[in-house]
Amino acid sequence: MKILVINAGSSSIKYQLMDLTDVHHYTLLATGLVEKIGESTGRVTHKTLIPGHESQHVEDDPLPSHREGMSRVVALLTDPDKGVIRDAAEIEGVGHRVLSCGEVYSDTVRVTPEVKAAIREFFPLGPLHNPANLMGIDVAEEFFPHAPQVAIFDTAFHQTMPPKAFLYAVPYDWYTTHRLRRYGFHGTSHKYVTQEAADYLGLPLADINLITIHLGNGCSMAAIRGGKCVDTSMGVTPLEGLVMGTRSGDIDPAALEYIMGQTGMDIHQMINALNKAAGLKGICGVNDMREVVAAAADGTPLAETALELFAYRIQKYIGAYMAVVPKLHALVFTAGIGENSFPVRDRICRGLEHLGVRLDAARNEAPSREPREIQQADAALKILVIPTNEELQIALETKHTIETS
């Protein structure tokens, strides 16, 4: 089944087209990025990935709206030279990454007017993402009217958390009236690597107990018990939890009032600063972990401080999640930093030997793109590195939803 996966942002469209049967049998046909939508000059980067016919095409032209951007995607996918399909009608389903639908949907769903209304209802809790996600759905419906549209919610995997994990200790009507609670994000990634870890370890999904650690520019962790999420580090927005590239993570809310009083910032400026000027960038001036690691190795004090803070926050969450996940099978590192930065994995695991975390330096440093173990050979607790594939997970869920609904 040919599935188009779309992740629409406020000024961008990321896409992948794949032909798949199941998680082990699929072909990635094309991938691309439409960016700078609404600016004076937009950019489309399109890659054809058919073996023996790989190519990349880049074009710079004005793209006034997402509609023009999607028009270029369709034209490139069906181009006689650069394309991979003869006609848009070959696309049998479109899977959309959607940030949040709160507690309304706890699983992937086919898009209906009711689903679109629910996505719109949660604009206030996802103002940067939900409107763009819905725009992507509207545009895709126009260009692929024959194909079922499917919404995959980034928060859905975390809907199995119990109230003691998702509630904040605030007036209860803030939850019942205003929907204030921990929702969690990166759910598609945590779900994918949970299944991959179960398969790798040869355990049924219903028996697997993990701590999954998604480390990219955005970072989050999840406590997995019996294959289901029972806690996660991000909150009502992606700002809570770990130290990230440009996000602060956990902070005393009273500190915001203090800094606003000292600087004259309003609440919008404060939230913008916590999202875009904090985290690694706030401490040492850069948010690319490769640059931070290199600067720390060269003896830059604030880069070293940023790395220590980044690792320490993760260590504390590992300890907390060990308290709620009995008979833990593995720690799982994933996403850009988690998969590729052995110095960061080393810093996180260092000093946790009393918790059974015993990293093997040689295994940790050995380059690989495959799922692998990096703990010492005789360690009881496994440490896994599992590459995530959120687009594949979206495509798989899209296919399953179409076939079963």
> With contact defined as beta carbons under 8 Å apart, do 38 and 65 qualify?
yes
Label the pairing between strands 93-98 and 149-153.
Answer: parallel
Cβ partners under 8 Å of residue 144, min gap 6 = 4, 88, 91, 94
CB atoms within 10 A of CB 36: 16
Whether 154 is catalytic: yes
User: Using DSSP, how many helices (H) and how many strands (E) does the chain show?
Assistant: 15, 14
Report the side by side order of strands in the sheet with 382-385. Answer: 228-232, 219-225, 210-215, 330-334, 382-385, 372-373
> With contact defined as beta carbons under 8 Å apart, do 287 and 279 qualify?
yes
Cα 233 to Cα 38, 121, 190, 239, 307, distances in angstroms:
34, 24, 12, 10, 19
Q: Is 334 helix (H, G, I), strand (E, B) or coil?
A: strand
Label the pairing between strands 382-385 and 330-334.
Answer: parallel
Cα 395 to Cα 28, 50, 94, 115, 183, distances in angstroms:
11, 18, 8, 19, 23
- Identified catalytic residue from 22, 79, 154, 288: 154
Distance CA 297, CA 299 (A): 5
Distance CA 247, CA 235 (A): 13
> With contact defined as beta carbons under 8 Å apart, do 75 and 104 qualify?
no
Cα 247 to Cα 67, 91, 100, 154, 358, distances in angstroms:
31, 37, 19, 18, 29
Q: Produce one character per residue of 114-141: b if its CB has 16 or more CB atoms within 10 Å, e if not.
A: ebbebbeebeebbeebbbbbbbbbbbbe
Which residues form the catalytic set? 154
